[in-house]
Amino acid sequence: MPNMNPTAAHTTTSSNTSQSRRRNVQNYSLIWVDGTIDKSEDEWKNNIEIVEDIISDINIFKKPEECIPLLNTINMEKILVITSGFLGEILVRDIHNLLQLDAIYILCGNAARHKAWAENWSKIQGVFTSINDICDSLKKVVHQIDHNEISISFISNQTIMEIASGQRNLDQLELSYMYSVLFKEIILEIDDADLESFNKLIEYCHQQKVPESQLAYFHHEYHRQSPIWWYTKDLFIYGMLNKALRTFNVECMLKMGFFIRKLHQQIEQLYYKQLDDYRESFTVYRDQALSQQNFQKLLTAKDGLLSFNSFLLASKNRKVSMSFVEDSLRKTTDTVGILFIITINQKQISTSTTPFAMIDDYSAICGEQHILFTMHTVFHVSEITPTVSNNRLWEVSLTLT
Pairing mode, strands 393-400 and 335-344: parallel
> Percentage of the chain surpassing pLDDT 70?
90
**In residues, how long is the chain?**
401
- The candidate with the shortest Cα–Cα distance to 280, out of 314, 248, 245, 316, is 316
pLDDT at 321: 79
Rounded Cα gap, residues 77 and 209, in angstroms: 15
Give tens-digit pLDDT for 191-228.
777 889 999 999 999 999 899 999 999 999 999 999 99
Which H, E and C letters describe the chain, residue by residue? CCCCCHHHHHEECCCCHHHHHHCCCCCEEEEEECCCCCCCCHHHHHHHHHHHCCCCCEEEECCHHHHHHHHHHCCCCEEEEEECHHHHHHHHHHHCCCCCEEEEEEECCCHHHHHHHHCCCCCEEEEECCHHHHHHHHHHHHHHHHHHCCCEEEECHHHHHHHHCCCCCHHHCCHHHHHHHHHHHHHCCCCCCHHHHHHHHHHHHHHCCCCHHHHHHHHHHHHHCCHHHHHHCCCHHHHHHHHHHHHCCHHHHHHCHHHHHHHHHHHHHHHHHCHHHHCCCEEEEEEEEEEHHHHHHHHHCCCCEEEECCCEEEECCHHHHHHHHHHHHHHCCCEEEEEEEEEECHHHCCCCCCCEEECCCCCCCCCCCEEEECCCEEEEEEEEEECCCCCCEEEEEEEEC
pLDDT per residue over 252-273, tens digit each?
999 999 999 999 999 999 999 9
Asked if 384 and 394 count as a contact pair (C-beta separation under 8 A), the reply is: yes
155 DSSP β-pair partners: 305
pLDDT in tens, 318-345: 988 787 787 788 887 889 999 999 999 8
Is the pLDDT assigned to residue 85 strictly greater than 80? yes
Q: Can you tell me the mean pLDDT for 53-66? A: 95
Residue 124 in contact with residue 102, Cβ under 8 Å?
no
**Does residue 1 or residue 89 have the better pLDDT?**
89
Q: Which domains does the chain carry?
A: 6-147 (3.40.50.2300), 150-400 (3.90.176.10)
Mean pLDDT of the chain: 88
pLDDT single digits (tens) 27-52 = 999 999 999 988 888 889 999 999 99
Confidence of residue 1 (pLDDT cuts 50, 70, 90): very low
What is the percent of the chain where pLDDT is above 90? 69
For residue 7, is pLDDT > 70?
Answer: no
Which pLDDT score, from 0 to 100, does residue 19 have? 42
Q: How far is CA 198 from CA 183, 229, 259, 265, 332, in A?
A: 19, 16, 8, 17, 40
